[in-house]
């Protein structure tokens, strides 16, 4: 039992080191996974988590994947962005620009701590948009990205996020609409949504994000784009992803390798859920 558990956790390597990095607006909590002693590090990955509650629901998948990659010789840094997890700041103080700057600082820390290896940006959902945005600003520096279920449009994501409050109001026998909530945000109000204090500045920045608009700037970047597919049939990319990928120009832009595997959308599920095939597929990308 213990042995099986250990194997499942991939914990043959050293335990991760909890560290605090100097962020632009306060200390940032990170978990630093290092390769098994004796292995030459092959490269580093910086994990950028998804938004709000999705980050908590995904934490176990991120930790498991980090351990497995470390066992394959990769350095992995899991970042708690400013205002989230154990990092400094409150959620309502978080800003997209700050998250970009802090992610860049974390990448610099990795490059300084592990000279001579390159840093791959690994993002889940909104974290993938953050990775794409950061790489688009500095494509000479970031030449490899890993997307897990990337969000395609920030505005749609905000609409869905605001629905959490609409649904909670429904449960309380009240009625609110996304339109009304947006109007209050536009008027400068901080809104509480599903326990998170949502600031207008962050909403505006996220709403303006389009993966489609960021990808052309990633010329020469290699992107591995992995998605989960719950349907019982053959795993396939979501139709919206397919449409986006088909609309990209045939030349220029990043080199994309896309793959769908079957599994549950663990970032939405209350009970901590794993997607073993996503872990396997990611292992294979970095094998």
Task: Give the residues lining the site for another protein (CB under 8 A).
Answer: 53, 160, 162-164, 166-168, 170-171, 173, 175-179, 194, 230, 238-239, 264-265, 268-271, 273
CB of 231 to another protein, least distance (A): 8
CB of 168 to another protein, least distance (A): 4
Nearer to another protein, 160 or 219 (CB): 160
Nearer to another protein, 106 or 166 (CB): 166
Nearer to another protein, 222 or 238 (CB): 238
Please name the residues in contact with 264: beta carbons below 8 A apart, sequence gap of 6 or more. 228, 230, 273, 275
* Cβ neighbours around 145 below 10 Å, total: 24
CB of 30 to another protein, least distance (A): 26
User: Phi-psi bin for 34: left (phi > 0), alpha (psi -120 to 50), beta?
Assistant: beta
The angle formed by the CA atoms of residues 43, 101 and 133, to the nearest 5 degrees, is: 75
C-alpha–C-alpha distance, residues 285 and 287, integer Å = 6
CB of 106 to another protein, least distance (A): 28
C-alpha–C-alpha distance, residues 265 and 225, integer Å = 15
Nearer to another protein, 22 or 167 (CB): 167
Nearer to another protein, 170 or 213 (CB): 170
Please name the residues in contact with 109: beta carbons below 8 A apart, sequence gap of 6 or more. 21, 77
CB of 120 to another protein, least distance (A): 29
User: Phi-psi bin for 194: left (phi > 0), alpha (psi -120 to 50), beta?
Assistant: left
């Amino acid at each position: 039992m213990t042995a099986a558990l250990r194997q499942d956790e991939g914990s043959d390597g050293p335990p991760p080191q909890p560290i605090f990095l100097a962020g632009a607006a306060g200390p940032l909590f990170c978990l630093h996974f290092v390769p098994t002693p004796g292995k030459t590090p092959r490269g580093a990955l910086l994990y950028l988590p998804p938004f709000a509650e999705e980050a908590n629901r995904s934490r176990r998948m991120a930790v498991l994947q980090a351990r497995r990659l470390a066992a394959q010789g990769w350095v992995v840094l899991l970042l708690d962005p400013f205002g989230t997890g154990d990092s400094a700041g409150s959620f309502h103080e978080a800003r997209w620009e700050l998250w970009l700057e802090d992610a860049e600082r974390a990448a610099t820390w990795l490059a300084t701590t592990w000279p001579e290896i390159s840093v791959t940006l690994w993002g889940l959902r909104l974290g993938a948009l953050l990775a794409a945005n950061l790489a688009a600003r500095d494509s000479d520096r970031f030449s490899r990205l890993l997307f897990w279920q990337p969000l395609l449009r920030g505005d749609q994501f905000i609409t869905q996020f605001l629905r959490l409050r609409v649904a909670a109001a429904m449960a309380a026998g009240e009625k609110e609409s996304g339109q009304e909530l947006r109007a209050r945000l536009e008027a400068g109000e901080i809104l509480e949504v599903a326990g998170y204090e949502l600031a207008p500045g962050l909403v505006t920045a996220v709403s303006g994000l389009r993966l489609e608009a960021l990808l052309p700037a990633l010329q020469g970047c290699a992107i591995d784009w992995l998605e989960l597919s719950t349907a019982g049939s053959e795993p396939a990319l979501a139709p919206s992803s397919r449409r986006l990928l088909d609309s990209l120009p045939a030349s220029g832009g990043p080199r994309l390798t896309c793959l769908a595997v079957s599994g549950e959308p663990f970032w939405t599920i209350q009970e901590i859920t794993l997607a073993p095939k996503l872990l396997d597929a990611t292992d294979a990308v970095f094998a």
